[in-house]
Amino acid sequence: MMEWNVDTNEKEMGMATAVSNNKLLEVTDLGVTFKTDEGLVRAVDGISFTAHKGKTLGIVGESGSGKSVTAQSIMRLLPNSAMIDEDSSIAFYRDSGPIEITSLDNRSQKMRELRGGDIAMIFQEPMSSFSPVYTIGNQIMEAILQHRNVSKQEAREIAIDMLDKVGIANPAVRVDQYPFELSGGMRQRAMIAVALSTRPSLLIADEPTTALDVTIQAQILELMRGLKDEFDMSIIFITHDLGVIAQVAQEIVVMYLGKAMERGTAKDVLGNPQHPYTVSLLGAIPKLGTLGGRLTPVGGDIPSPLQRPSGCPFHTRCKQKIEGVCDVDPPGITRVSDTHTVYCYLYE
Amino acid sequence: MIRFVIERFFGMFVTMFFVSIMVFIIMELPPGDYADRYAFRKFSGTGVTVTESDLDNIRAELGLDRPAYQRYFSWIGGILFRFDFGDAFAYETSVNNVLGQRLGLTLAILFSTLIITYLVAIPVGIYAAVHRHSAADYGLTIFSYLGLALPNFLLALILLYISVKYLGSSVGGLFSAEYQDAPWSIAKFVDLLKHLMVPAIVLAWSATAFQIQTVRATMSDEINKLSVTAARARGIPERRLLFKYPARLAINPVVSTMGFDVNRIFSELPIVALVLGLAELGELLIQSYLDLDMFVAGAILLLLTFIIVFMNFLSDIALSFLDPRIKLKG
């Protein structure tokens, strides 16, 4: 079993904070609604989870499940058309005390310090996450100069050092190159270098390996795992790929249409899945050694977010749907064990 | 980089060589030549019968009897080595004398128009894109469609009326009477600016309206790029990141169409100049064609195309600075 409350790598051991546990980021009842021309779209519908220090939290879900919107809410990078619910809370636990991110002004100094400073983010598309008209070094140094009190020359040295750390050969040359002179995998490495150059305590990785081919994907995952320990940080890893999540995450949130269907340690969710959605997702993954059997896809399509199903959002595709129950009222959250919760009537 | 500039510079000369040949062909195209015109002017109504040999004598006198290629080389040679554009027959002086002040005025109007256009269009377009769907954005859009729709000459008349009635500046020309022959001074320069203001605003109006829409459209695209979000996620202040990332690329299409703007200004200038009573090159070009005064026409065409080609050269260089993806090859 994963141990939740054993503090192995607390950043500042001596700091006696009001928070006695090792929480780093606590999201409570996060709800996000988009105003669109077609009407209101409920992208995230009251989800809660906690990222712990030194751990990787995996958020897994299909496209449209609200996982990227969740990440953008934490960074406050949502477009103007999005509204975060009044009663949502995103608490970030700095050593100096907790900060409520939802109550910060989007453009305030404090929010900018958090963004890139305490919480860094990498994106799905390494091809377009760098601006093509500035060198890699310029964009790394920009982050360093913004958050660390160093001279330009020092920033450049840190940038070269970071490129070296993420496994880019010839960093002193690469630092002066433009993004289009680097391959996709190298660019994602460089993006990681940008993110980590400010020594954040939390890294949000939004599908960082989705656009890469499988061998590069494995290298990037390996790199991230190593750097997580070296930099003593936490990761929120967002992906639709359960195979990837199994390799990196210690805790998992399974999202569907803006709801957390199941939460628990990796062992809980992958080894002992409770929710019919999680079960069917796992059934759709090919396994080595069981050639011949057909994969069972999750039946049906994800409903339009404009017409959210009543009750449990998954009931339209669920094989174990209880008629007259699941499609009427939303289920409550049931505890399976201390670390494992599920959002389903089957366990109430 | 230096190599790129040199190659482009050399390319400009190759272009100008072909342009000069085309200009020369255009000069040759109208039926008849200045000898016919000259004889007609001098002897029409006098009862003198002009024979073919008289015409040949006039041609020989004017140097029009030589074969075309010889005339081309002596024309282009004069321009290259002595900066001499030949004789302006109708004015009985050199082309250089005829063009002198008009060229200065045309260039002054051209550059003040360009400066006004870019100074207004770029910041306004960026502002409109950043505040998309706001009242200011809609207001600017209405303004710029008005700018595109209003005919130039009407605007010229309105502004002329305003400037004479309320600003007390004199109509037409480059200088007020008292400064016409005065030595250069601050006051004279201010007077010049006053006179340039109206034609420059008139000409800049539609160009600005057009470029505001261009900048707004590119800026709106660029703002939504992932690289901008990524910069925001690094905690870069909003204003700084807007200028550093999307704005730099948003002015790209403006810079790359600098040559087109010059072209448009040249084609709109004669109408505006006519309304405002300015002695610029376009009007002279038409007159010289009517007179078959081909060296004047050729000099104007050559100068105007040279300015366009040169502006294209500048825009190439500027683009390669703005966007390093543009390959530094000739």
Question: Residues 6 or more apart from A206 whose CB is under 8 A from it?
Answer: A67, A68, A71, A121, A122, A123, A124, A238
Which has the closest alpha carbon to B224: B232, B215, B236, B212? B232
Q: Measured between alpha carbons, how far is B227 from B209 in angstroms, rounded to an integer?
A: 29
Amino acid at A293: G
Question: How many contacts (CB atoms, under 8 Å) link A and B?
Answer: 72
Amino acid at A103: S
- Strand-strand pairing, A202-206 and B87-88: unpaired
Quick check: B191 pLDDT over 60? yes
Cβ contacts of B228 on chain A, cutoff 8 Å: 131
**Is B88 contained in some domain?**
no
What pLDDT score was predicted for residue A52?
Answer: 94
Interface test with B, best of A131, A194, A199 (most B CBs within 10 A): A131
- Cβ neighbours, 10 Å, residue B206: 22
Cβ contacts of A147 on chain B, cutoff 8 Å: 235
Question: Residues 6 or more apart from A295 whose CB is under 8 A from it?
Answer: A283, A284, A285, A286
Q: Measured between alpha carbons, how far is A41 from A306 in angstroms, rounded to an integer?
A: 5
Query: 3-state SS of chain B: helix, strand, coil percent to 5?
Result: 80, 0, 20
Q: Measured between alpha carbons, how far is B222 from A285 in angstroms, rounded to an integer?
A: 38
Question: Residues 6 or more apart from A190 whose CB is under 8 A from it?
Answer: A126, A130, A136, A140, A163, A166, A168, A174, A179, A182
Q: Which CATH number characterizes residue B241's domain? A: 1.10.3720.10
Contact A178 B325 (CB under 8 A): yes
**Is B12 contained in some domain?**
no
What pLDDT score was predicted for residue B62?
Answer: 77
Q: What is the mean pLDDT of residues B217-225?
A: 93
Distance between B234 CA and the closest CA of chain A, angstroms: 4
Q: Cite the DSSP H helix spans in B83-185.
A: 95-130, 135-149, 152-165
Q: What is the mean pLDDT of residues B65-80?
A: 87
Amino acid at B4: F
List the structure tokens of B32. 């008849």
Is A120 in contact with A195 (CB distance < 8 Å)? yes
**Is B186 contained in some domain?**
yes
Residue of A nearest to B132 (CA): A80
Residue of A nearest to B245 (CA): A131
Q: Measured between alpha carbons, how far is B174 from A48 in angstroms, rounded to an integer?
A: 73
Q: Measured between alpha carbons, how far is A317 from B266 in angstroms, rounded to an integer?
A: 67
What pLDDT score was predicted for residue B169?
Answer: 65
Report the mean per-residue pLDDT for chain B: 85
Quick check: B57 pLDDT over 60? yes
Interface test with B, best of A69, A74, A106, A129 (most B CBs within 10 A): A129
Cβ contacts of A115 on chain B, cutoff 8 Å: 232-235
Band of the pLDDT at B171, cuts 50, 70, 90? low
Cβ contacts of B235 on chain A, cutoff 8 Å: 112-117, 143, 146-147
Contact A133 B230 (CB under 8 A): no
Contact A115 B226 (CB under 8 A): no
What pLDDT score was predicted for residue A7?
Answer: 39
**Is B70 contained in some domain?**
no
Distance between B228 CA and the closest CA of chain A, angstroms: 7
What pLDDT score was predicted for residue A235?
Answer: 96
Beta bridge partners of A26: A50, A91
Pick from B228, B232, B234: which is nearest to A194 by CB? B234
Q: Measured between alpha carbons, how far is B57 from B11 in angstroms, rounded to an integer?
A: 41
Contact A123 B230 (CB under 8 A): yes
What pLDDT score was predicted for residue A15?
Answer: 38
**Is B133 contained in some domain?**
yes
Band of the pLDDT at B64, cuts 50, 70, 90? confident
Residue of A nearest to B324 (CA): A133
The SS3 assignment for A262 reads strand
What pLDDT score was predicted for residue B45?
Answer: 73
Q: Cite the DSSP H helix spans in chain A.
A: 67-75, 109-113, 136-147, 152-165, 171-174, 184-196, 214-231, 242-248, 266, 276-283
- Alpha carbon B239 to its chain centroid, in Å, reads 35
* Pairwise pLDDT comparison (B138 vs B63), residue with the higher score: B138
Cβ contacts of A129 on chain B, cutoff 8 Å: 226-227, 230
Which has the closest alpha carbon to A10: A1, A120, A20? A20
Cβ contacts of A198 on chain B, cutoff 8 Å: 234
Q: Cite the DSSP H helix spans in A175-289.
A: 184-196, 214-231, 242-248, 266, 276-283
Which residues of chain B approach chain A closer than 8 Å at the C-beta?
Answer: 225-238, 244-245, 248-249, 322-325
Quick check: B250 pLDDT over 70? yes
Contact B225 A133 (CB under 8 A): no
**Is B271 contained in some domain?**
yes
Q: At what angle do helices B95-130 and B258-276 cross, to 10 degrees?
A: 120
Interface test with A, best of B223, B227, B242 (most A CBs within 10 A): B227
Tell me which of A2-16, B48-62, B304-318 is least confident: A2-16
Q: Measured between alpha carbons, how far is B59 from B56 in angstroms, rounded to an integer?
A: 5
Quick check: B330 pLDDT over 60? no
How many domains, chain B?
Answer: 1
Cβ contacts of B233 on chain A, cutoff 8 Å: 75, 77, 115-116, 120-121
Q: What is the pLDDT along chain A (348 residues), one digit of tens a residue?
A: 333 433 333 333 333 344 446 899 999 999 999 998 888 999 999 999 999 999 999 999 988 899 999 999 999 999 889 999 999 999 999 988 899 999 998 889 999 999 999 999 999 888 889 999 999 999 999 999 999 999 999 999 999 999 999 999 999 999 999 998 998 889 999 999 999 999 999 999 999 988 888 888 899 999 999 999 999 999 999 999 888 898 899 999 999 999 999 999 999 999 999 999 999 888 887 776 666 677 777 878 888 878 888 889 999 998 888 988 898 899 999 999 999 999 999 988
Residue of B nearest to A196 (CA): B234
**Is B35 contained in some domain?**
no
List the structure tokens of B139. 């207001």
User: What is the ipTM score, two decimals?
Assistant: 0.84
Question: Residues 6 or more apart from B323 whose CB is under 8 A from it?
Answer: A132, A133, B249, B252
Q: Which domain holds residue B271?
A: 100-280
Q: Measured between alpha carbons, how far is B298 from B76 in angstroms, rounded to an integer?
A: 10
What pLDDT score was predicted for residue B1?
Answer: 74
Cβ contacts of A130 on chain B, cutoff 8 Å: 227, 230
**Is B170 contained in some domain?**
yes
Cβ contacts of B231 on chain A, cutoff 8 Å: 131, 139, 142
Write out the H or E segment, with its range, that includes residue B226. Answer: helix B226-233
Q: What CATH number matches the domain at A24-347, 3.30.590.20, 3.40.50.300, 3.30.360.10, 3.40.50.720?
A: 3.40.50.300
Q: Measured between alpha carbons, how far is A281 from B202 in angstroms, rounded to an integer?
A: 66
Distance between A127 CA and the closest CA of chain B, angstroms: 9
Which has the closest alpha carbon to A32: A94, A92, A101? A101
Q: Measured between alpha carbons, how far is A147 from A150 in angstroms, rounded to an integer?
A: 9
Pick from B225, B237, B245: which is nearest to A112 by CB? B237
Residue A55 DSSP code: -
Contact A131 B231 (CB under 8 A): yes
Q: What percent of chain B has pLDDT over 70?
A: 97
Is A314 in contact with A45 (CB distance < 8 Å)? no
Interface test with B, best of A133, A177, A198, A204 (most B CBs within 10 A): A133
- Strand boundaries in chain A, DSSP class E: 23-36, 39-52, 56-61, 82-84, 89-94, 97-100, 119-122, 202-206, 234-239, 251-256, 259-265, 333-337, 340-343
